Amino acid sequence: MFTHEVLGRHQVNYFECESCASLQTEKPHWLDEAYAIPGVHVDVGQAARVVQTWVRLCFLLETIGFDKQRECIDYGGSAGLLTRLMRDSGFEYLAYDAYDDSKYANYFKVDRLESVSPGLVTAFEVFEHFPQPAESIGELFAIKPDLIVFSTVFYEGQGPDWEYLVPYCGQHIFFYREQALRAFGERHGYALRRSRDFWLMIRETSRYLAAFDANHNAAIDAAFVGELFLRVGHGTEQTLQDYSYAKDRFIRELGAVWGPIPKPKSLFRRLFGLA
């Protein structure tokens, strides 16, 4: 379809599939270079997007009655900020990212997908990074979550000036046609749906499919946003449990290096006015 200079040094061809009409780069041999560059660079909206996603995701899950006791995975969770916020909101969230140490959730992450059986997988701005999307998305279907909630921008024949290509960063390499992803999901028993804010793959046998279809037009109001911020702003019971676990684990890890360390008093409770 066209050629772009990727990472300022690689002349890369972009191809449209004759079968599914999605757009893909040539084999992305530059990915190690692209992910070796530290920082978020041009993605200055990352922090704001995580906060917005947190609010909207909590509203969606609470609207459809998602079971908070079910394990959830934030696939490609980057620094782990969404995982931390979702845990503070009472959800059993864990981060997974092959390229990031998930510093906000480094005690609350998984290293292998096959070790979990989550009710929910989230993958925000991730699918367009897959060099082998059928294989990578197939791995998500294989762990059989009830819901896969994701964001990406669909390809509709845009040309070389399409901003979503971001060739100077080199990480966006596959761009889906909506009908292609819908058909792929159906072959694995998942229905593609669109909420106000996200795309969802919902397992066709899940009770959440009917719940979503009945409530997908629900809109967030200011009362929900304010209540959510107040709920997590002073430390929830989940936050306290995580603090206790993290403190004990951190002390054990320090002790393994430096010898036994006395346990500190619960400064966390005093800081949040809970002592």
Q: pLDDT tens-digit profile of 60-77?
A: 999 999 999 999 999 998
Q: What is the dihedral of CA 29, 32, 33, 39, to 10 degrees?
A: 140
Q: What percent of the chain has pLDDT over 70?
A: 90
DSSP class of 27: -
Q: What is the pLDDT of residues 146-175, one digit of tens each?
A: 999 999 999 999 999 999 999 999 999 999
What is the β-pairing status of strands 120-124 and 71-75?
parallel
Start-to-end Cα distance in the chain: 63
pLDDT at 212 over 80: yes
Fold of 2-215: Rossmann fold (3.40.50)
Report domain extents, the chain.
2-215, 236-271
Report how far residue 110's alpha carbon sits from residue 106's, in angstroms, rounded to the nearest whole number. 9
pTM of the model: 0.89
DSSP code of residue 217: T
For residue 94, what is the DSSP state?
Answer: E
- Res 114: pLDDT: 85
